[in-house]
Structure 1
Amino acid sequence: MSDAAIEEVSVLSSIYCRDGEFQILNCTGGRGGTLNVSAVFHLHPSYPSCPPHISISTTSLSKIQCHNIRQKLMTRAAELPLEPMLLQLVEYLQVKMYCGHSRNQEWTAVLLLDHIRSRNRYIRLLERWSQQLQLTCRLLLGPNPLIILLGERPNIKEFCHRLRTVKVDVDSSGKKCKERMMKVLAETPCSSLCQHRYGFVVKDYKSLSELTAVFEELNLAELYQQMLPTLSG
């Protein structure tokens, strides 16, 4: 480790001095925690002549979100002059995490509908609700009618509540009915990779392969794999 790196580690250890906040691991890296995220900086012997390698770990974010944070830090490190930069990277991480938590977290939800008999009426209601609740909505019509929602979690909850309490369709005898058999197949914090602003879209599909393609297009392939046993059962 160079003299500049040793001096920088000394400064960091004095700033982040609480228990578990900063550690030296095998004299090759440092660890700084902010909020619920832990960042490990692996320093090459020639550091700061080359940027550090960065690892991100957390129990409160998804793998995709960790990957996105790491990519932002690596990009930031590449932009900085080749001089001690750990403090700047830690402060950059703190700012990004604060900004992320200060906004309402967006969620992705996938709903399985029981049936859609009165198609036009059903679609009109779903479109109106998605606009009122500021939700991005994709309605997938096929063997398993699905709704993919993106937006703030309370609004998604309200959307589901309306489905179960408002007469949105008709039953086999033609009487108006509620969507009480609707199931929430998945509900998870939304990563930046899945934030497609597609408004309200209706799409027909005929096979699981076509449905798979839709989820892959939206960068939701991992979520789709988790639901596949339910859809193919």
Structure 2
Amino acid sequence: MSEAALEEVSVLSSIYCGDGEFELLHQSADGVTVQITSSVLGGGGVTLLFHLPPSYPLCPPDVSVSSTALSRTQCQSIRRHLLHQAASLPPEAMVHQLMESLQTGSILLRQDNPSELDLWVSVLSLDHIRSRNRYVSLLERWSKQLQLSGRLILGRNILVLLQGNKANIKEFCCLLKTVKVDVDSSGRKCKEKLMKVLIETPVFCSGSSLQGFVVGECSSLSQLRAAFEEVHLGEVYRDIQPSLRD
């Protein structure tokens, strides 16, 4: 665990020093988990678990949110906003900053459109991947944090196939365009500004078998079609085929 993380835990325990506000739940080689119980502006009490990985603050914390005063949808909304904000912040101590944005109302509570809670599939087209390890690591982490299943398909066409809650897919796309995920031709870190959404559609049957986040390669359109058919999304492939490179 980095000295920065341990120092932040000490600072947090001093700031959130009220009865039941702060608790160090876990500390090991896998990282540190702290619990902070506070209040959301106009929303009542909320408990947040921050897991600081060994590489923190170079990597942002994972967050879980629970509350007896807020709905499950509201807690999920808070979590999405916190994860997005954490991913966009500089690599430095950030838990207190996240808590402040929550307590001051910078993160607004909202009810998602019920249709967005259904299962959706989206296919994203990426322009390039130069820093493969970093890029893939971020995509895997975001899909896990946002509870999305997916595939990264490499080849002449670089595609990200996502399945899950529509709002979470939109959050994934927002992260992709606002966080520096790759490097440009000069080796400078850059954002994925050229990402395109080829299709975004609800799944009307339970046939799709996407699980976890898998990275694969397809060197031809026939292999790409087979990859979609393997997870029972052949119709999605037919819809996006006109946008693909031969």
CA distance, structure 2, for counterparts of residue 139 and residue 212 of structure 1: 14
SS class of match (1:169): strand
TM-score by length of 1: 0.55
- Say whether residues 1:218 and 2:228 are aligned partners: no
TM-score by length of 2: 0.52
Kindly tell me the number of residue pairs found equivalent between the two proteins: 133
Q: 1:106 to 1:209 in 2, by over 3 A?
A: same
Per the alignment, residue 122 of structure 2 pairs with 109
- Say whether residues 1:134 and 2:152 are aligned partners: no
CA distance, structure 1, for counterparts of residue 166 and residue 172 of structure 2: 10
CA distance, structure 1, for counterparts of residue 127 and residue 146 of structure 2: 22
Q: 1:203 aligns with which of 191, 202, 216?
A: 216
- Say whether residues 1:162 and 2:175 are aligned partners: yes
Identity of aligned residues (%): 58
- Say whether residues 1:231 and 2:234 are aligned partners: no
Once the 2 structures are TM-superposed, how far is the Cα of residue 198 of structure 1 from its aligned partner? 1.7
Runs of 4+ in structure 1 deviating by more than 2 angstroms, as ranges, are 101-104, 191-195
More helix by share: 1
Once the 2 structures are TM-superposed, how far is the Cα of residue 192 of structure 1 from its aligned partner? 2.5
Structure 1: 5+ residue stretches without partners: 1-100
Q: Does the aligned pair in 2 maintain the 1:193–1:219 contact within 8 Å?
A: no
Q: 1:106 to 1:116 in 2, by over 3 A?
A: same
Per the alignment, residue 147 of structure 1 pairs with 160
CA distance, structure 2, for counterparts of residue 135 and residue 195 of structure 1: 13
Q: Does the aligned pair in 1 maintain the 2:116–2:165 contact within 8 Å?
A: no
Q: Does the aligned pair in 1 maintain the 2:116–2:167 contact within 8 Å?
A: no
SS class of match (2:244): helix
Q: 1:226 to 1:173 in 2, by over 3 A?
A: same
Residues 73-128 of structure 1, C-alpha deviations (whole Å, 9 max, x = no match) = xxxxxxxxxxxxxxxxxxxxxxxxxxxx7992010000000100000000000000
Q: Does the aligned pair in 1 maintain the 2:210–2:231 contact within 8 Å?
A: no
Q: Does the aligned pair in 1 maintain the 2:120–2:164 contact within 8 Å?
A: yes
Structure 2: 5+ residue stretches without partners: 1-113
Pairwise CA RMSD: 1.7
